[in-house]
Chains A and B, each alone.
Chain A
Amino acid sequence: MTKVFSRAVVVVASALVPPSYRERFREEWLAEIWYEPAASRALIRSFGSILDAVSTRKLSRPSRVRPPRRSAPMPLHEFRYAFRSLRTRPFRTAVVLATLAIAIGANTAMFSLLHAVLLQPLAYPESDRLVKIEGFRTATGEAGNISPADFYDLELESGTLESMGAHGWVGFFTITGDGTPERVAGSNVTAGFLTTLGVAPALGRLFEPDDDVLGAAPTTVITDALWRRRFGAKRDVIGQTVDVNAVAHQIVGVLPPSYKHPEPNPEREPALYVPYRFERGGASRSGRFIRAVGRLASGRTAVEAESELVAIAARLEETHPDTNTDRSVSVQPLKYAVVKDARTGLYVLLGAVVSLLLIACANIANLQLARGSERRHELAIKVALGAGRAGLVRQLALESLMLSSGGAILGIGLAYAARGSFALSVIPRGDEVAFNLPVLLFTFAVSTVASVLFGLLPAMALSAGDLRKGFTRSAPRQALVACEVAIAFMLLVVASLLLGSLSELRSVAPGFMPDRVLTMQVSLPIARYEEGEQIPFYEELYGRLGALPGVSSVGGVNILPLSQNYSGDGFQVDARPVPHAEAPSAEARSVGADYFEAMGIPLLRGRLFDASDGVDGAPVVVISEAMAKRFWPGADALGERMTYNRGIPDEESTATGGPGSREVVGIVGDVKHLGLDDGEVAMFYTPQAHQPSFHTMTLVLRTSLPPESLTAGVRTELSSMDDNVPLYAVRSLDAVVETTIDEPRLRGTLLASFAAVALVLALLGVYAVIGISVDQRTREIGIRTALGAHGGNLISLLLRQNLTPVAWGLAAGVVGALVSTRFLQTLVFNMSVSDPLVYVSVASFVAVAATAAAAIPVLRALAVDPVEALRVE
């Protein structure tokens, strides 16, 4: 395939060589490729043919006496002339401007996104010194959080890091006090977290080490947004107290408006921070739930920090084998860690808009070439009146520059107008997109490159051609069409792969039935509901909600599937206990009332939880099918026992057989856990009444009505039970599922739009080139018709001759797509990037569309009366 592409490069290059020399040139270069056995080297060599063609072209030009050089700046009248010349062909100028505006606009928009996400430094002082520290299992490479005790050891021993800080999962806190109770996102942090980021408080102070010790008075630092919204931007807020989860916290500081949490998540941007207040020396080493950041000491690199922290982690592995066996840490620059998942997708989109620009330039170059033929009289007169060739080229270049500048201005306008049309916040840092100086400079550079690209070929043609004859050769135009078709084909393949993958994702059964289900979160403050006291509250709430009209079943769960949260917990199979450090883990869920019915998760065997599984019921567990297969392979899991000690007092928890030992009473279907592209996850469910530590539950209501219509009824029932408990994150289950494919959908939609524009431009190119070629042969067609040529034969002759560049373009496109889509595999779900079906369908589609575009001018030419045609000069 590569050799075919190399040959295509030579053929395209030979189009640049004067006709008298072309055949020999092509022959010599094709032999060159033939002699090279390695396909990749043949490809590299083939690019040499382009340099050779340019040099041959220069040499074969007749030498001329150079006219005296004019050093004076371009006079104003040349601008006026260029402007007038564009104005005399308003339709063509408008088409060129619109094409450029779309292509440059798409490039501007995509670069502004790329600049905001990948290039711009994070909004912290000296942010290039910030790193993210993650834990991982050395055996599997599975990344995760680290434990507080490990964090303190790393912080104490590290010399490459100037400081370290940590934050937790961004959850929700209820704030009460003045005004209505409000549910806001927030996170626990260590004292060093904000100072490590280098944040300066707008008011008050940040946390100090004394705020972050066991028994310290509760304090909080709030964001600028919360300060303005809830506290009316009053400066005396410092020192006031606010109830956070029903505990009075003193507000010690307000963050600046520019502050952003280092883990961007539009649904969970923290409004406040609260110190962890871990007990130093007594903090957990087995619970891995904190995320660490560090600031490199001056002159140190992330690589140095990593090797140091890995050595410390190895020492911890030796001193704490029960918890740290097989555990290590990794260090990455913070910016890289924030945006790494978005990188490939952004590069693909950038590639798409650059391709779009190339097609647009090829198209405009084609138009200019055609126009060059039309303008030969005008230009010949100018030469006759004493204008030098350089002057003519300058004139054409000036027109190109004016067109590209106009396109750039319109393009910026388009990009600016479209900036709100896409939910960019699904991309990390997508909300930082701005039209700033670097973006404008990029647009300026793009438009200049564009003017060179689409102005170069016509200007070259003009300077080499004989003005009296005009520029009639069609080879460069056909080469341009071949390039356009190739690029459009590649974009269509990529778009088809992404859209196909999106539809594959959509067709994935999540393991539950998401239609007509409402979900919402309720959180009872720990300060007012002691552990266990919330169980009767939830039971009453489930009963009341089940009685609402239109509700068929109600349930609750601590973590809803696909809600971007997880909780892997260790357990033991009672029949086969293993040492603590090697205990298997699975996703643990606590569920209330008729959760499985409300979600539509099917029971496969055994039974679901019922009234007998209340507070005093025997300990039981329902497991997922994947869990049954994985931990009881080839055996029946029903009736077996597993020990899961969460919620059991420490002194009573045992490896197996203690109060945490539960009987497997049911097996249910698997559900998707973090995303639709996830594999089957082992999961087990315990009754909510047996897990009194969960105060926050997601309610699930299955209904026959539009789900959102239930919200008001639920709110009324909840506030009639406790007025200070807020209801939040109210969404239909459908919406929850849709959110998980936000990013692939945005990517697929954008790429499909770019590919569609590219195809339209390429078809216009085919249409224009064949139109010109047919027009030039009107006389010949007339003669053939007059001599009795059959219409059908003429059509097939003209199409065959004119569709060759399309065939070349498709061949080059197939090679290009096979090479370039290799990088896409991570973005494509359940499909192969070289799926032959995609290639064949896209190729057939392009071929049919191109034939249709070519048929229009051919049919038009045949409709001309032969007598009229013969009169054409």
Chain B
Amino acid sequence: MKLTYNGALVLQALVKGYAYGFEIMDFTGLASGTTYPILRRFEKAGLVRSHWEKTSEAHQDGRPRRRFYELTEEGRRRLDAAVEKFEAQRKIFAPEPGR
């Protein structure tokens, strides 16, 4: 599966600890119609896994249950590869000193 720029943003959000839809969207600035399909694809491809929080916890806070997402090993590996790629690109585009 090809990792898009938006996909990398979502992975980056997860690695930084933003764990559910609303938070991820706020962090990445992506629309809901982009974020969720990406999460679905990643889950199917094994890059992320999800679990639902306990009903009692949500009820304690007086809000609906949250579905939390986290990176799998494979997801972390793909993110590292993407970060490496972006780093390399950044070097290419950086102005050369003294010229």
Contacts and interface: CB of A to CB of B under 8 A. Distances in A.
23 contacts: A24-B52, A27-B64, A28-B67, A31-B65, A31-B66, A34-B63, A35-B22, A35-B63, A44-B31, A45-B31, A45-B32, A47-B33, A48-B34, A48-B35, A50-B33, A51-B33, A52-B33, A52-B36, A52-B37, A52-B40, A55-B36, A56-B40, A59-B44
A59 B41 contact: yes
A82 interface: no
Contact of A52 (B32, B65, B67): B32
Contact of A28 (B21, B25, B41): B21
B66 A55 contact: no
Interface in B20-50: 21-22, 25, 31-37, 40-41, 44
A32 interface: yes
A62 to B, nearest CB: 12
Contact of A36 (B22, B36, B41, B52): B22
A35 B32 CA distance: 13
Contacts of A36: 22
A27 B65 contact: yes
Nearest to B67: A28
> Across chains A and B, which 8 residue pairs bring their CB atoms closest together, nearest first?
A48-B32, A48-B33, A51-B33, A55-B37, A31-B64, A52-B36, A45-B32, A35-B22
A50 B37 CA distance: 10
Interface string A32-58: 101110000000111111111001100
Contacts of A35: 22, 63
A13 to B, nearest CB: 10
A30 interface: yes
A48 B66 CA distance: 18
Contacts of A27: 64-65, 67
Interface in A51-96: 51-52, 55-56, 59
A36 B33 CA distance: 15
A50 B31 CA distance: 12
Interface string B1-25: 0000000000000000000011001
Contacts of B31: 44-45, 48
Interface of A: 24, 27-28, 30-32, 34-36, 44-52, 55-56, 59
A291 B91 CA distance: 67
Contacts of A32: 21-22, 32
A50 B64 CA distance: 21
Most B C-beta atoms less than 10 A away, residue of A24, A46, A49, A52: A52
Nearest to B21: A32
A36 B26 CA distance: 11
Nearest to B45: A59
Contacts of B32: 32, 44-49, 52
Contact of A55 (B21, B40, B63): B40
Contacts of A45: 25, 31-32
B36 A34 contact: no
A466 B41 CA distance: 24
Nearest to A54: B37
A46 B67 CA distance: 17
Contact of B64 (A30, A52, A59): A30
Interface residues of B, number: 19
Given A31-B64, A46-B32, A48-B31, 14 more contacts: A24-B67, A27-B65, A31-B63, A31-B67, A32-B21, A34-B63, A34-B64, A36-B22, A44-B32, A45-B31, A48-B32, A51-B36, A52-B40, A59-B40
Interface in B51-94: 52, 63-67
A51 B37 contact: yes
B13 to A, nearest CB: 15
Among A24, A27, A32, A59, residue most surrounded by chain B Cβ atoms (within 10 Å): A32
A221 B77 CA distance: 85
B42 to A, nearest CB: 11
Contacts of A28: 21, 67
Contacts of A50: 33
A233 B10 CA distance: 78
A44 B25 CA distance: 13
Contacts of A59: 40-41, 44
B35 to A, nearest CB: 8
Given A32-B32, A34-B64, A48-B36, A55 B41 contact: yes
A50 B25 CA distance: 17
Contacts of B63: 31, 34-35
A40 B31 CA distance: 14
Contacts of A34: 63-64
Contacts of B34: 48, 51
A24 B64 CA distance: 12
B65 to A, nearest CB: 7
Contacts of B33: 47-52
B98 to A, nearest CB: 48
B37 to A, nearest CB: 4
Contacts of B41: 55, 59
A781 to B, nearest CB: 37
Nearest to A50: B33
Contacts of B25: 45
Nearest to A32: B21
A36 B64 CA distance: 12
Nearest to A51: B33
Nearest to B44: A59
Name which of B21, B35, B36, B65 has the most chain A CB atoms within 10 A of its CB.
B36
Nearest to A30: B64
Nearest to B66: A31
Contacts of A55: 36-37, 40-41
A50 B41 CA distance: 15
B90 to A, nearest CB: 31
A28 B21 CA distance: 9
A24 B39 CA distance: 14
A50 B65 CA distance: 21
Contacts of B64: 27, 30-31, 34
Contacts of B52: 24
A216 B32 CA distance: 75
A55 B42 CA distance: 12
Contacts of A56: 37, 40
A43 to B, nearest CB: 11
Contacts of A51: 33-34, 36-37
Contacts of A44: 31-32
Nearest to A57: B40
Nearest to B23: A35
Nearest to B38: A55
A52 B67 CA distance: 15
A664 to B, nearest CB: 70
Nearest to B39: A52
Most buried by A among B37, B41, B65: B37
Contacts of A24: 52, 67
A36 B66 CA distance: 14
A800 B41 CA distance: 38
Contacts of B67: 24, 27-28, 31
A48 B37 CA distance: 9
A733 to B, nearest CB: 61
A45 B36 CA distance: 11
A47 B36 CA distance: 12
A28 B69 CA distance: 12
B27 to A, nearest CB: 14
Contacts of B36: 48-49, 51-52, 55
A24 B51 CA distance: 11
B4 to A, nearest CB: 14
A31 B65 CA distance: 7
Nearest to B58: A31
A592 to B, nearest CB: 72
A47 B37 CA distance: 13
B2 to A, nearest CB: 15
A295 B46 CA distance: 67
A22 to B, nearest CB: 14
A409 to B, nearest CB: 38
A56 B37 CA distance: 7
